[in-house]
Amino acid sequence: MDVLGLETYAIEIRLILRELGIPESYATDRRLELQVETNRSVSAGRDIYDRELRLTPEGLEAWNNLRSNALKDGIVLQVISGFRRVSYQRGIIERKLATGLHIQEILKSSAAPGFSEHHTGRALDLTTPGATVLHSDFEHTAAFVWLARNAAFLGFRMSFPRGNPHGIIYEPWHWYFQG
């Protein structure tokens, strides 16, 4: 994205944050960087809900690499969520607001639109058969132990470890391909 495109994007995001009642200081308070929504996502198979999974070509290659290496060690990895649009992230927040949750509470488990790594097409929420989806218990699975040991060598990092500086809950399932 060029500079003008990035400025326009940042303005759009600022507007969405305002509409959702998210303070302007959100990014600095949370030490979160703006994540650009990719326009290069490609079909990457299906997620566990049988929805189309989309990733960037790099994200897809990295995911295939991660999955096949895990499988060699007898570990089955599955995707809960890959690429997500800003509009989709906004919908998540709006649905939670509609249930009566306070915005600050919501932001502990959901990034604000424009700040989710899922916008980049390089982030994956992972699970394995038998695990509770999007639950910290995932850390007790063989799949997580495998990821913790191997994912970094394949270019992935766990973005939200315990006590992370972003005020986001521990997310052992969320992995980002940094290359």
**Site for Zn ion, rule CB under 5 A:** 125, 174
Q: Which is nearer to Zn ion, 15 or 152 (CB)?
A: 152
Residue nearest to Zn ion (CB): 174
Q: Which is nearer to Zn ion, 17 or 89 (CB)?
A: 89
Least distance in Å: CB of 71 to Zn ion?
22
Q: Which of 43, 126, 46 is nearest to 80 (CA)?
A: 126
18/157 with CB nearer Zn ion: 157
Give the whole-angstrom CA distance, residue 15 versus residue 3.
18
Asked if 45 and 53 count as a contact pair (C-beta separation under 8 A), the reply is yes
* Residue with smaller CB distance to Zn ion, 24 or 52: 52
Concatenating the DSSP letter of every residue in 148-163 gives: HHHGGGGTEEES--TT
At closest approach, how far in Å is the CB of 116 from Zn ion?
A: 7
CA-to-CA dists, residue 109 to 10, 61, 98, 127, 149, angstroms: 22, 28, 16, 17, 25
> In angstroms, what is the minimal distance from the CB of 125 to Zn ion?
4
- What amino acid is encoded at 66 in this protein? L
Q: How far is the CB of 164 from Zn ion (least distance, A)?
A: 13
